[in-house]
Copies of this chain bind each other. A is one copy, B any other.
Amino acid sequence: MNKIYVVGIGPGAYEQMTVKAVRAIEMSQVIVGYTVYTDLLKKEFPDKDYRNTPMRQEVERCRMAYEEAAAGKKVAMVCSGDAGIYGMAGLMYEVGTEYPQVELEIIPGVTAALGGAAVLGAPLGHDCCMISLSDLLTPWEQIEKRIVAAALADFVICLYNPSSKKRSDYLQKACHLMLSYKGEDTVCGIVKNIAREGESMEILSLQELKDAKADMFSTVFIGNCKTRVIDGKMITPRGYQYERE
């Protein structure tokens, strides 16, 4: 049976791919994905047949992968970060009902929350949630509801897609909401271009985050009430009893 690998390639650097993801790409002839991600792979895997569709043509991208696989090619559909978290795995299963002769294998990867957390220190040391601020596919009211719930229950919050040209004030709106339920000194962090050229990180308060600049290559972290800064890193304690000797 023909098989498509749906591969989370991690945040960007080759070395943050899993061994399994590397092997899946190596075994594939055709690599399908959004241009930004396939460009990251071309350096390490130059001899593949890369196929792209623009943003917002996700269904077409999936069909392209299935058509290649149905024609006998070995295919990988690549996603940045993980294959499932805001990735293509779900839509691939939906479109897959049209191609019963093709099987899927999902290969998980380091999503931006994990990659970014490692740059900041250890912000995700306790219960956390991931929320995308993009309202392309989700009504803003639903996003607001989740932000409020997460703030009230003191989750560590990781925001995906915090901002874009068309949504330049969305992070600000989210911070306004959170400031009603969380202290303005809550420790926050922004990581840009995780594991890519130009990687940078900044630790700041929730009050400061409200006026900070983020873009579509940023991942934003809002701590819980116990998150603090240790040696310039953002740390959310798990709760172990620790006293300095």
Contact = CB atoms under 8 A, between A and B. Distances in A.
Interface of A: 8, 10, 13-20, 22-23, 58-59, 82-87, 89-98, 106-111, 114-115, 117-119, 121-132, 137-138, 142-143, 145-146, 148-150, 152-155, 230-231, 233, 235-242, 244-245
Closest 10 CB pairs of A and B: A129-B129, A137-B239, A149-B153, A90-B125, A89-B122, A90-B122, A106-B118, A15-B20, A108-B114, A108-B118
Given A90-B122, A127-B143, A129-B155, 20 more contacts: A59-B240, A82-B124, A83-B122, A84-B117, A89-B117, A89-B118, A89-B125, A90-B125, A90-B235, A93-B121, A94-B237, A106-B119, A126-B138, A127-B130, A127-B131, A129-B150, A137-B238, A146-B153, A148-B153, A150-B153
A110 B81 CA distance: 10
Contacts of A245: 98
Contacts of A118: 83-84, 89, 106-108
23 contacts: A8-B114, A15-B20, A16-B18, A17-B18, A58-B240, A82-B114, A82-B117, A85-B124, A87-B125, A89-B118, A90-B235, A91-B237, A91-B242, A93-B121, A93-B231, A94-B240, A97-B231, A108-B118, A111-B114, A127-B132, A129-B129, A137-B238, A142-B154
Contacts of A107: 118
Q: Which of A84, A96, A131, A235 has the most CB of B within 10 A?
A: A84
Contact of A93 (B84, B91, B128, B235): B235
Instruction: State the copy count for this chain.
Output: 2
A142 to B, nearest CB: 8
B94 A235 contact: yes
